[in-house]
Structure 1
Amino acid sequence: MTTLLLASASPARLSTLRSAGLDPQVRVSSVDEDAVLAEGRERFGALEPADAVLLLAQAKAEDVTRALEQTPAEATISAEAHQEPSDVAALPDLVVGCDSMLELDGEIFGKPADAETAVARWRTMRGRSGVLHTGHWVVDLRDPEDGGTGGTLGATSSTTVHFAQVSDEEIEAYVATGEPLAVAGAFTLDGRGGAFVSGVEGDHHGVVGISLPLLRELLDQVGVRWTDLW
C-alpha cells in the first residue's frame, strides 16, 4: 500500500481522508504563514486568493518534507494521537499540504482572531455568497526504483458557498461554541455551521478542507492510483 502523510493539524481533513478509505500519518508544519505570504508578495506582487492558498500549501508540504528527511523516525506523528511519535521509521511515499481561505467581495478571510471578529464576519457573510479556496500541494518521496518521480506539484480547489440569512442570536450562539474560531472563513460545512450554509457550487470536500477529486488528479500526475492508498 502507498503511504500518505497529511501536513496539517485539521481534524476535518483527516476525517475526510479516513472516510474515503485512507489512513494517513499526520505531521504539522512549522510554517510562519504571514512570512510566507509576505515573501510571496515580494516575489510575485499582489497574490490572488487561489494563489495565496497554493503558496501556503506548498510551504507546509515542503516544510514537513524537510523535517522528515532530517529525522524520519522522530518526525512522523501518529494520526491517532497527534502528539506521540509513531514507530514508523521509513519515510511516507507522499506528503500533502493544504491551506484554505474564504474570499468575499475581494477580501480574504482566514481564521478569525477572536470571537468579536467572528461575529462581525458572520454579520457580513449572512445572506451572501463567497468562494472557499483550498490549496493542495503533493510531494512524491518514493524512490525511483519504486516508481517515484520526485514530483512536487499542486492546484487549488475553489467552491462557491451560499450563506443562510442567520439572525444575530444564531451568530452569537454559534461563535460561543468556539467552532468558528478554528477554521478558515469562521464556518464549517461538516459541523455546527453546516445548518448556516444554504448551498455550495463545486466540490464540497474542498470546503471541508481537502478536495478528494483534486487530490486524486494530483496523485495521478505522479503515477499513483487513488486505489493504491486504500
Structure 2
Amino acid sequence: MRKEIILASNSPRRIYLLGQIGIDFKVVSPNVEEEGNSERRSPVDIVKSNALKKVQKVAEEYRNAIIIGADTVVVLDGEIIGKPKDERDAIRILKRLRDRYHFVFSGVAVMETPEEKVLTSVVRSKVKMRDYSDEEIERYVATGEPMDKAGAYGIQGKGALLVEKIEGDYYNIVGLPLVRLNSLLNRFGYSLL
C-alpha cells in the first residue's frame, strides 16, 4: 500500500502546483516559526532549515506518510527580501528590484515516516525585473497580489508583467521546484509521473 502524501504548507501556490500534476495529497499546516533574514546563515541554509522544520513538525502527527515541505526566499544583494509589511513596503521592495537581477532560492525537504528518512535540496533561479515605472508599481500593488509574496511579486500572476527574463526553474520561482521534488521522491520509490 502506498503511503499518504502530505504537503506541509499553507501556500496556495504550492497547493496549486502539486494539484496541477494530478497526484492525491493532503494539506497540513505545519505551524512553525520560520527563520528569516540572518547575517549568520546563508539563504541556502535558511530555506533548507525552514523546509526541514515543516516536515518534522507534521511528522509528529503523521507516522505513515511521505511529507513534503518547502520554503522560498528572494535575495537581492545578499539580503533576503521577505513579504511586504504593507503597501508602502511593497512599493519600496519593487523599486529596489526594478531593472535588476535577483535570486530565488527554494528549499525542499521530503521525509518518509515512520522511518524518518529525510532528503533535502535547494534550487536557485535568477530573475531579471524590467525597468517598470512608478505608476506600474502602484497599479500592481493596488491589486493586492504582492502582499503575501516574498519579493512583493508573483510571477504566476500579474507580477509576470514585471519580469523581463528568468534563468532556471520557473516552478522554483513560484515556490515549489517540481522537477527537484520528483527527483527526491524517486529516491523514496515514488514518482510524480
TM-score by structure 1 length? 0.78
Q: How far does the alpha carbon of each residue in 1:156-187 deviate from its partner, in whole angstroms, 9 at most, with x for none?
A: 11100111111111111111121111011111
SS at match of 2:47: helix
Aligned with 1:166 (options 113, 122, 132): 132
Cα distance between partner residues in 1 of 2:88 and 2:96: 13
Find out whether 1:127 has 2:99 as its counterpart. Answer: yes
**Shift >6 Å, 4+ stretches:** none
Cα distance between partner residues in 2 of 1:189 and 1:67: 34
- Identity over aligned pairs, percent: 34
Cα distance between partner residues in 2 of 1:197 and 1:2: 39
Structure with the greater alpha carbon radius of gyration = 1
Instruction: Give the C-alpha shift of residue 2 in structure 1.
Output: 4.8
Aligned-residue CA RMSD (Å): 1.8
Cα distance between partner residues in 2 of 1:99 and 1:217: 17
Show the 5 A alignment for 1:108-127: 108-127=80-99
Length, aligned pairs only: 192
Aligned with 2:180 (options 193, 208, 214): 214
Q: Which structure's residues are more often strand, by fraction?
A: 2
Aligned to 2:5: 4
Is contact 1:5-1:96 (8 Å) kept?
yes
SS at match of 1:215: helix
Aligned to 2:166: 200
Is contact 1:132-1:160 (8 Å) kept?
yes
Unaligned runs of 5+ in 1: 70-90, 143-148
Aligned with 2:40 (options 46, 64, 70): 46
Aligned to 2:55: 61
Cα distance between partner residues in 2 of 1:2 and 1:130: 38
Q: Which structure's residues are more often helix, by fraction?
A: 1
Unaligned runs of 5+ in 2: none
Is contact 2:62-2:113 (8 Å) kept?
no
Letter paired with 2:189: G
Cα distance between partner residues in 2 of 1:33 and 1:165: 32
Cα distance between partner residues in 2 of 1:46 and 1:222: 33
Q: How far does the alpha carbon of each residue in 1:89-145 deviate from its partner, in whole angstroms, 9 at most, with x for none?
A: xx4x21111111001111111211111111001001011110000110111126xxx
TM-score by structure 2 length? 0.92
